[in-house]
Amino acid sequence: MSTRRQFLGRSAAVLASSSLLGGSWQALAAAASEGTMLKRTIPSSGETVPAIGMGTSGSFEITPGGPEYEALKEVLRRFFDGGATLIDTAPTYSNAEDILGPLLAEAKLRPKAFIATKLSGVVGRDKGLAQFQKTLKSLRTDKVELLQVHNLGDWKTQLALARELKQQGKVKYTGITHYLDSAHDQLADVVQETKPDFLQINYSVTNRGAEQRLFPMAKDLGIAVLANRNFNDGKLFNQVKDKQLPGWAQEVGVTSWAQMFLKFCLSHEAVTAVIPATGKPDRQSDNLRAGYGPLLSAAQKKELIGLFG
Ligand X SMILES: NC(=O)c1ccc[n+]([C@@H]2O[C@H](COP(=O)([O-])OP(=O)(O)OC[C@H]3O[C@@H](n4cnc5c(N)ncnc54)[C@H](OP(=O)(O)O)[C@@H]3O)[C@@H](O)[C@H]2O)c1
* Residues at the contact surface with ligand X, assessed by CB under 6 A: 55-59, 88, 150-151, 177-179, 200, 228-234, 237, 258, 275-280, 283, 286-287
- Cα 209 to Cα 205: distance, rounded to the nearest angstrom: 10
**What's 207's DSSP letter?**
B
> Is there a contact between 34 and 5 (Cβ–Cβ < 8 Å)?
no
Short-list 132, 75, 81, CA closest to 103? 75
CB of 263 to ligand X, least distance (A): 12
Q: Of 15 and 119, which has the nearer Cβ to ligand X? A: 119
CB of 219 to ligand X, least distance (A): 21
Q: Of 150 and 263, which has the nearer Cβ to ligand X? A: 150
> Is there a contact between 278 and 287 (Cβ–Cβ < 8 Å)?
yes
Q: Of 14 and 54, which has the nearer Cβ to ligand X? A: 54
Short-list 26, 27, 28, 36, CA closest to 5? 36
| Closest residue to ligand X in the complex (CB) | 55
CB proximity list for 168: less than 8 A, separation 6 or greater: none
Q: Of 99 and 275, which has the nearer Cβ to ligand X? A: 275
Give CA separation, 184 vs 191, 211, 262, in Å. 10, 10, 21
Short-list 112, 95, 101, 89, CA closest to 175? 89
Q: Of 69 and 179, which has the nearer Cβ to ligand X? A: 179
CB of 215 to ligand X, least distance (A): 17
CB of 290 to ligand X, least distance (A): 9
